[in-house]
Structure 1
């Protein structure tokens, strides 16, 4: 293995960093550091929802359903991802939120990787504690 190779498991690694596998937030010496793209392996229990809407989005995003039933809330519409492989793409300026209608696993790819969109951990923990 070289320093520019990382081998892992999405489920195990995602649990260490709120689901995020790759992006600007990884240490620059880590092969998973990228300012070009972010990748998340999201595991969501039934009823899980984002603590608040993302407003003023500056990135493009692709969200792919691996399993479950996942709702993506967009201005004026709700997209239901219910078949394995269903996906939605939205671009800059599109506000969004989400809700896990059933236990779901989703793969999210966002680009570019820019700081400033994380839900504060205390808000995330309070939301999780309600369930």
Structure 2
């Protein structure tokens, strides 16, 4: 028989692979959209593992942004467009942060993998 603490802990731990799990939910690994009770459910933060082929770009600019965001380049070359500024992430570890109210768009200049962290997690927000 297992220790009750071990059983309880098991329900609060999730082990996965960002590439595999992200492919199931448009790259999103953590946020309000995961089921309540799932350790990946959060109203505070969203995390995405984005894998983008060369030339992939946002369908339209995000306007009226309600969150702060951090985007970190894992591999490739990835351009983030901000009002009046274009930011090229070219070296692994390059990152950009923008705050609430900053509109944005992006484009993968090469096949790219990026990690995005946004906060807070806003229910109902989605760009098709």
Segments of 5+ residues of structure 1 without an aligned counterpart are 121-131
1:40 corresponds to which residue? 48
Q: Any idea what SS the aligned residue of 1:41 has? A: strand
Is residue 63 from structure 1 mapped to residue 64 from structure 2 by the alignment?
Answer: no
Larger radius of gyration: 2
Q: CA deviation at 1:118?
A: 1.5
Aligned residues: 120
Note if 1:100 corresponds to 2:108. Answer: yes
Contact 1:54 1:117 in 2 (8 A): no
Q: Aligned partners of 2:60 and 2:127: how far apart in 1?
A: 8
Provide the TM-score with structure 2 as the length reference: 0.91
Superposed displacement of residue 2, structure 1 = 1.0
- Structure 2: which 5+ runs fail to align? 1-8
List, as ranges, runs of 4+ consecutive aligned residues in structure 1 with deviation greater than 2 Å.
none
- Determine the structure 2 residue equivalent to 1:127: none
Q: What is the CA-CA distance between 1:7 and the residue it aligns to?
A: 0.2
Measured on the aligned residues, the alpha-carbon RMSD in Å equals: 0.9
TM-score (norm 1): 0.89
